[in-house]
Amino acid sequence: MHALLEHFLDTADGAGKVMAHARLLLKLARRLNKALPAGLGDAATVANYKSGKVVIHATNGAVAAKIRQMGQRLCSELSQEGVECNVMDVKVQPRQIPWQSRPSTEKPLSARTCGVLRGTAEELPAGPLRSALETLLARAARRE
């Protein structure tokens, strides 16, 4: 099964262009990683390459600024690999780490806060603000 898929990806009538582009991006990524200083290599990735333009995603603005400063030297380094590099476009793209997402936590209201909100709602004339406060009080979790 694996051999059939790899054969399909390598053939010209299959997805050969896609596989060739993927290999080129991997080659550029390895070269970029070697060319960047130790701290920046892990914070930047090659996102795309087209017509001499390399697109790099940096994890934050500081990394992006440093890579932009090194742009000409990096283009020269990447061109040594046999790939024409005229322009380097650096974009900030924070990494998505799914296991770091945190579910929302319940934040209960104290009895004092509920009393103040209830008193405020009772003093207000009928309208959207009073209705919103009453809805908040009805739905809010309370701290015992």
Q: Are residues 51 and 112 in the same domain?
A: no
Q: Are residues 126 and 143 in the same domain?
A: yes
Q: Are residues 116 and 60 in the same domain?
A: no
The pTM of the full predicted model, rounded to 2 decimals, is 0.57
β-bridge partners, 55: 48, 89
Give the model's confidence band at 93: pLDDT under 50 very low, under 70 low, under 90 confident, else very high: confident
Q: What is the pLDDT of residues 13-25, one digit of tens each?
A: 666 677 788 888 9
Which residue segment(s) compose the domain that 43 sits in? 2-98
- Residue 107 structure tokens: 């934040």
∠118-124-130 over CA atoms, to 5°? 65
Q: Are residues 84 and 112 in the same domain?
A: no
pLDDT at 121: 92
Q: Are residues 31 and 86 in the same domain?
A: yes
- Residue 40 structure tokens: 């920046």
Q: Are residues 32 and 86 in the same domain?
A: yes
Q: Are residues 32 and 16 in the same domain?
A: yes
Q: Total structural domains in the chain?
A: 2
